[in-house]
Amino acid sequence: MNRDEAEKILRRHRPGTPDAADPELAEALALAGSDPELARWLAQQTAQQAAVRQQFRRIPAPAGLQEQILFRHRSRGQNRFWQRQAWLLAAAAAVAVLIGLPFWLKPGSPATSGLALYQRQMAALALRGYGMDLISDDPGQIRGYLAQHQAPADYQLPAALQKSVPAGCAIENWRGAKISMLCFRTGRPLANGAQSDLWLFIIDPASVPDAPAGSAPQFTRINRLTAAVWRQNGKLYLLGTTAGESVLRTLL
């Protein structure tokens, strides 16, 4: 082994690691022990390696990442639990239907309305917690992710909403149909632990029997969420926010 070959091998030497057990490295280190010039080069090389390593290890993980991983895991765990307990859920649902049948059959009851139910469930999702499948402020990346997972991706955002900062997206299911859930920030202070305060849900209107036919937004309020619903180009849109109706109207 000559000096050039030894230098090439010694570039991947990390003192204090199992590297020295590598036969090639052991031979190169032995050569450095008998060659002062190579030893000097190795000392400089080692110092630079340490400096580079230090910079790599300074990459900080974003605050909240750990909590988000755990939150998402718990959410999925709960879903799996209920899937396993499907028979129990079915029995409970049957009992609930029998008890509530007179109310459910009452004409005009919101509970029988597909749209009302859809709105309430999307509001619950936004207000009670969800896990984003993709955290990104890149609209193109979000659209690509949704398309890749066969969720509605050929949506059209209102012009004003296009100026809002996206935070990410999630894919949800409702009555067997995929929903694209886009999360945004209005720019107002977020509640503790909240990642967004503006959400856009997009679904095939065929899955919501009494979905509005027109493109004019219909406003409603569900708990703390103000929402607008409209249909456009074969998609049903629901835009909701906790920032109030006045803010919502500026985004449409």
Query: Which residue bears the tokens 């990390």?
Result: 14
Token duo for residue 142:
């979000």
Among 2, 23, 37, 56, the residue binding other proteins under the rule CB under 8 A is: 56
Cα 101 to chain centroid distance, Å, stands at 38
Distances (CA, A) of 8 to 2, 13, 33, 136, 192: 10, 10, 16, 41, 53
Among 36, 62, 107, 176, the residue binding other proteins under the rule CB under 8 A is: 62
Nearest to other proteins of 24, 245 (CB atom): 24
d(CA 88, CA 230): 36
Asked if 75 touches other proteins (CB under 8 A), the answer is no
Among 94, 100, 138, 209, the residue binding other proteins under the rule CB under 8 A is: 138
Asked if 175 touches other proteins (CB under 8 A), the answer is no
d(CA 139, CA 65): 21
Token duo for residue 191:
């509640």
Asked if 136 touches other proteins (CB under 8 A), the answer is yes
Nearest to other proteins of 53, 221 (CB atom): 53
- Please give the residue ranges that form the binding site for other proteins (CB under 8 A): 8-9, 11-12, 14, 16-19, 22, 24, 44-45, 47-48, 51-53, 55-59, 61-62, 65-66, 68-70, 72-73, 76-77, 134-138, 141, 144, 148, 168
